[in-house]
């Protein structure tokens, strides 16, 4: 007999994607018009109206009681879908899961809360959902309120809470009402640094002292290594690695490094680009060390074919975060004074160590004459991730796009004296 508290066998999740563009409502004339257009364009349009998309495919693993499991992977790998299935929010399309215990989930801000009820009422509601008696909830009530820090607003409807207050109360409820399985997505990123530290400490206690099971999804590799004992990596809905948390993080970081580049080796006309410019290579690598991290710095190398002789050619590199915040937008002349020639050019540059904060970034490339006439614009041509690390004894994520190492000149001027 298996001693697994979670057993996943052949689990897959399929969604149907529609390619039709629907408005807010459809009038009869719209239906008639759409049908007419459809008959005219039916032969030209080869794209199906609907297609299948498998968010997860054939997942198989077991998790034992008391294990802290980190689930990692790129955006879109299927991590959140897996947590929703394990939390019984959605059903798998194929396969089966076996859960031997109560599950408390913290997947999104406000999950499991009724917006019209107060914080106090939602604590009792969540406890009832977990199958706890009123007496059991009362016994944990003060601990929950103290941990969340929302005592002043306990009798206020939670719809008036900020996102940070929502998360603090939701995590306190999920962690203190003693579920056998605690499922946490990276919703903790909403909280401040002190609260994140409290959450990681509580999750350690949940597994180490209380023997309960934690499933934790995060892009913070330092937190995964610090908290988890087991690591599961997903890529395109499938498990690519299951092992210790440290091994999983190393596998993920090396996998990320190997895939953060474009290398073209075929015919020139097949390379990314157009009749003006073709991209032959664009890769990202650490300046020092093996992995991209805050202290490694970033080197980027571009090789391209120019088919525009006698032009003032310039290349602009735009770096943005995944939420579209522009980190920098910087152009560089390739050839000045109408001196460009047909052929292959290379450009190499670096982003200094201790400048970019941990997170995911993407490059956009713009090739233009005189920084005005655009020859080629490629948005989000490459994506890479800068890993977090332990700096000054702190492994928690820090806010901000940049995380520079600054030097300070501090001097003591003596006690204050009235003049």
Looking at the domain assignment, is residue 413 inside a domain?
no
Contact 187, 167 (CB under 8 A): yes
Both tokens assigned to 384: 């890479």
Looking at the domain assignment, is residue 414 inside a domain?
no
Contact 97, 86 (CB under 8 A): yes
Give the Cα separation of 286 and 86 in Å (integer): 37
Tell me the helix, strand and coil percentages in the chain, rounded to 5: 25, 35, 35
- Each residue of 174-222: pLDDT tens digit? 788 778 898 888 766 555 667 777 787 888 888 878 888 999 988 777 7
User: Looking at residue 396, what is its pLDDT?
Assistant: 63
Domain count, the chain: 2
202 and 153 both lie in a single domain: yes
What domain range includes position 382?
Answer: 264-386
Looking at the domain assignment, is residue 418 inside a domain?
no
246 and 277 both lie in a single domain: no
201 and 299 both lie in a single domain: no
Looking at the domain assignment, is residue 405 inside a domain?
no
User: Looking at residue 383, what is its pLDDT?
Assistant: 83
224 and 310 both lie in a single domain: no
179 and 51 both lie in a single domain: yes
290 and 211 both lie in a single domain: no
- Please provide the average confidence, as pLDDT, over all residues in the chain: 82
Contact 182, 214 (CB under 8 A): yes
313-321 vs 238-244, strand pairing mode: unpaired
191 phi/psi in degrees, rounded to 5: -75, 165
- Tell me the CATH number at 336: 2.70.50.60
241 and 275 both lie in a single domain: no
- Tell me the CATH number at 13: 3.40.50.300
Looking at the domain assignment, is residue 331 inside a domain?
yes
Residue 197, Cβ density class (10 Å: 0-12 exposed, 13-18 middle, ≥19 buried) = middle
246 and 279 both lie in a single domain: no
108 and 194 both lie in a single domain: yes
181-184 vs 103-106, strand pairing mode: parallel
Last residue of a domain, one of 233, 255, 277: 255
Indicate whether 46 pLDDT > 80. Answer: no
The overall pTM is greater than 0.85: no
Last residue of a domain, one of 255, 278, 300: 255
- Of residues 111, 69, 72, the one with CA closest to residue 89: 111
DSSP 16-78: EEE-----S---HHHHHHHHHHHHHHTTT--S-SEEEEEEEEEEEEEEETT-EEEEE-STTSS
Looking at the domain assignment, is residue 409 inside a domain?
no
221 and 273 both lie in a single domain: no
Last residue of a domain, one of 234, 255, 276: 255
31 phi/psi in degrees, rounded to 5: -65, -45
- Each residue of 322-364: pLDDT tens digit? 778 899 999 888 876 667 888 999 999 999 999 999 888 889 9
Mean pLDDT is highest, among 39-53, 100-114, 145-159, 254-268, for 145-159
Give the Cα separation of 365 and 148 in Å (integer): 45
37 and 70 both lie in a single domain: yes
Looking at the domain assignment, is residue 411 inside a domain?
no
68 and 122 both lie in a single domain: yes
Indicate whether 40 pLDDT > 50. Answer: no
Q: Which segment of 156-160, 186-190, 273-277, 286-290 scores lowest on mean pLDDT? A: 186-190
Looking at the domain assignment, is residue 122 inside a domain?
yes
């Amino acid at each position: 007999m298996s001693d697994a508290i979670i057993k996943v066998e052949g689990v897959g999740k399929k969604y149907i994607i529609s390619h039709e563009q629907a408005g807010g409502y459809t009038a009869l004339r719209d239906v008639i018009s759409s049908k007419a257009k459809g008959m005219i364009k039916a032969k030209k349009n080869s794209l199906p109206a609907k297609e299948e998309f498998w968010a997860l495919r054939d997942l198989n693993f077991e998790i034992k009681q008391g294990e802290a499991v980190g689930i990692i992977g790129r955006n879109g790998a299927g991590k959140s879908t897996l947590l929703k299935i394990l939390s019984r929010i959605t059903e798998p399309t194929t396969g089966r899961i076996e859960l031997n215990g109560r599950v408390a989930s913290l997947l999104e801000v406000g999950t499991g809360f009724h917006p019209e009820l107060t914080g106090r009422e939602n604590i009792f509601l969540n406890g009832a959902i977990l199958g706890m008696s009123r007496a059991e909830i009362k016994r944990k009530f003060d601990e929950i309120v103290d941990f969340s820090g929302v005592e002043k607003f306990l009798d206020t409807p939670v719809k008036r809470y900020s996102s940070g207050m929502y998360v603090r109360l939701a995590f306190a409820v999920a962690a203190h009402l003693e579920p056998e399985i605690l499922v946490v997505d990276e919703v903790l990123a909403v909280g401040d640094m002190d609260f994140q530290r409290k959450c990681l400490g509580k999750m350690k206690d949940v597994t180490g002292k209380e023997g309960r099971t934690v499933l934790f999804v995060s892009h913070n590799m330092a937190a995964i290594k610090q908290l988890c004992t087991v690591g599961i990596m997903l890529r395109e809905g499938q498990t690519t690695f299951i092992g210790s948390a440290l091994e999983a993080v190393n596998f993920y970081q090396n996998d990320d490094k190997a895939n953060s580049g474009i290398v073209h080796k075929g015919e020139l006309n097949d390379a990314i680009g157009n009749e003006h410019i073709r991209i032959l290579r664009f890769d990202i690598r650490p300046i020092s060390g093996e992995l991209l991290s805050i202290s490694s710095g970033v080197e980027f190398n571009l090789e391209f074919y120019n088919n525009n002789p006698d032009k003032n050619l310039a290349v602009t590199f735009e770096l943005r975060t995944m939420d579209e915040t522009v980190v920098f937008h910087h152009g560089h002349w390739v050839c000045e004074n109408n001196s460009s020639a047909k052929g292959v050019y290379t450009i190499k540059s670096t982003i200094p160590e201790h400048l970019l904060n941990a997170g995911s970034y993407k490059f956009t490339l713009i090739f233009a004459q005189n920084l005005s006439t655009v020859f080629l614009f490629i948005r989000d041509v490459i994506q890479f991730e800068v890993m977090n690390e332990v700096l000054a004894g702190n492994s928690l994520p820090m806010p901000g796009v940049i995380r520079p190492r600054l030097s300070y000149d501090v001097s003591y001027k003596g006690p204050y004296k009235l003049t």
